[in-house]
Amino acid sequence: MRTQVGIIGAGPAGLLLSRMLAVQGIESVVLENRSRDYVEARIRAGILEQHTVDTLRDVGMGARLDREGLEHDGIYLQYPGTRHKLDFPELCGRNVWIYGQSEVVKDLIAAQLDDGPPLLFEVTDVQPRDVDTDSPSIAFTDADGVAQVLECDVVAGTDGFHGVSRPIVTAATDGKLWERTYPFAWLGILADVAPSTDDLIYAWHPDGFAMHSMRSPSVSRLYIQVDPTEKIEDWSDDRIWEALATRMALPGWELQTGPVTEKSILPMRSFVSSPMRHGRLFLAGDAAHIVPPTGAKGLNLAVADVTLLAAALVRLLAEKETDLVDAYSDKALARVWRCTHFSWWMTSMLHTHGDEFDAQLQLSQLQRVCTSEAAARELAEMYTGLPVAL
Ligand code: FAD
Ligand code: DHB
């Protein structure tokens, strides 16, 4: 089997990269080790930045997003006694959209299987080879158990945090890894109940952070800060709703409850791996970096990476110029570190940790963002997403 770009992983990064390359006449094959059902059912991120929405529209993936996505013009920041709306268009002229990552992935898979490049599910033993030469390949076993080799010009490692690509880059380049684990986790639920709010609520509370998000006019997505050692079995639906109602309480406002359809506990970490390239192997998305979810940057960063990578690969493969692939890692990492800082800052400001001194610093910072236009604008610019400078 032969193609121009062998892509490992059918998450948002790999699928979108394949789509962006196809639009520009570059061939690819996507190899995914899970089943289609599994990949489509994974409940993850929910907020799309302006740049992500523009990118999806540009590659013909905007139809259902425009029909079903919910455009939001701000968020509420809350601390006891105050719920303050940050108006994004007023502050920075941009918006965000609520459209689940699972819906983005479903749209990309449907288009790929309809008339896009090959996408192979349930492959095993995926192994990039000879990535330090101009003719790398990917060895794998297909869903029927047959050993295969995909010959290509370039390998894209979009195989997430636990994939096979990053260790190869790190070992070959003596690469650097930076990591921060946080002393808390998020317990997230999906519930069949209309959202009790028009915009997302990020709430600081002495018991811990709480957040109200949504997926549609009839489905709510909510999160609470818990200890990372907590077991989901110890959190009955009633206990979760009670914690949410306490932490987001505001006179005159009531949290509506409904049947919980999914619940899980997510660990939180920051992680950056550098460089994002070795030879003809390029990393993008969670394969190279992880952010804690506060601020909703993970999926959007993956989209920004592949926007840069697609442009660089088109230039390499169609024009035989290496300038953009040579600049890829540094350019992508500059944006990664900015978003890593933002996610760390939002996480540090909103989650209870430390002592009463830390709590007073957090409240002081929240008050600053809610009263200073300059401070609010910085949050709005980062939340709605920096443009991707190609
Ligand atoms: P992934 O989505 O991880 O895709 C990688 C793909 O590669 C997967 O399909 C995987 O099965 C496949 N793969 C792995 N190894 C191999 C292999 N050896 N061979 C072939 N295929 C392989 N971000 C937010 O902004 N907000 C959120 O609320 C949020 N919630 C999250 C909740 C969870 C539980 C997790 C794990 C992440 C969450 N994120 C969130 C982060 C966001 O979902 C990710 O940043 C995003 O999925 C990154 O996309 P990706 O394509 O780089 O990686
Ligand atoms: C969602 C997740 C986030 O991490 C966030 O900051 C906002 C919303 C969500 O799942 O809807």
All domains of the chain, ordered by start, with CATH?
Answer: 5-72+96-179+269-351 (3.50.50.60)
HSE-CB of 224 using CA atoms within 13 angstroms: 22
Q: Which of 297, 328, 331, 351 is catalytic?
A: 297
- Residue 306 CA to ligand 2 centre (angstroms): 21
State the pairing for strand pair 210-216/200-203. Answer: antiparallel
Nearest ligand 1 atom to alpha carbon 305: 52
> What is the DSSP code string of 322-352?
-HHHHHHHHHHHHHHHHHHHHHHHHHHHHS-
- Is 329 within 8 Å of 274 (Cβ atoms)? yes
Query: In a structure prediction context, what are the per-residue pLDDT tens digits for the chain, which is 390 residues long?
Result: 999 999 999 999 999 999 999 999 999 999 999 999 999 999 888 999 999 999 999 999 999 999 999 999 999 999 999 999 999 999 999 999 999 999 999 999 999 999 999 999 999 999 999 999 999 999 999 999 999 999 999 999 999 999 999 999 999 999 999 999 999 999 999 999 999 999 999 999 999 999 999 999 999 999 999 999 999 999 999 999 999 999 999 999 999 999 999 999 999 999 999 999 999 999 999 999 999 999 999 999 999 999 999 999 999 999 999 999 999 999 999 999 999 999 999 999 999 998 999 999 999 999 999 999 999 999 999 999 998 887
Nearest ligand 1 atom to alpha carbon 223: 28
Residue 293 catalytic? yes
CA-nearest residue, atom 9 of ligand 2: 46
Measured CA to CA, the distance from residue 81 to residue 3 in angstroms comes to 59
Residue 353 catalytic? no
HSE-CB of 233 using CA atoms within 13 angstroms: 0
Amino acid symbol at 229: T
- Residue 286 CA to ligand 1 centre (angstroms): 6
Residue 306 per-residue DSSP state: H
Residue 259 catalytic? no
Specify the pLDDT at position 379: 98
Task: Report whether residue 243 contacts ligand 1, using a CB cutoff of 6 Å.
Answer: no
Residue with tokens 């520009």, as numbered in its chain? 24
Q: Which of 202, 223, 289, 351 is catalytic?
A: 202
Task: Report whether residue 158 contacts ligand 2, using a CB cutoff of 6 Å.
Answer: no
Residue 202 catalytic? yes
pTM to 2 decimals?
0.97
Residue count of the chain: 390
Of 275, 296, 292, 267, the closest CA to residue 348 belongs to 292
Of 308, 324, 323, 216, the closest CA to residue 261 belongs to 216
| Letter string b/e over residues 279-296, b meaning 16 or more CB atoms within 10 A of that residue's CB | bbbbbbbbbbbbbbbbbb
Task: Report whether residue 33 contacts ligand 1, using a CB cutoff of 6 Å.
Answer: yes
Nearest ligand 1 atom to alpha carbon 284: 52
Specify the pLDDT at position 142: 98
Task: Report whether residue 9 contacts ligand 1, using a CB cutoff of 6 Å.
Answer: yes
Measured CA to CA, the distance from residue 131 to residue 95 in angstroms comes to 40
Nearest ligand 2 atom to alpha carbon 214: 11
Three-class SS state of 380: helix
Measured CA to CA, the distance from residue 371 to residue 361 in angstroms comes to 15
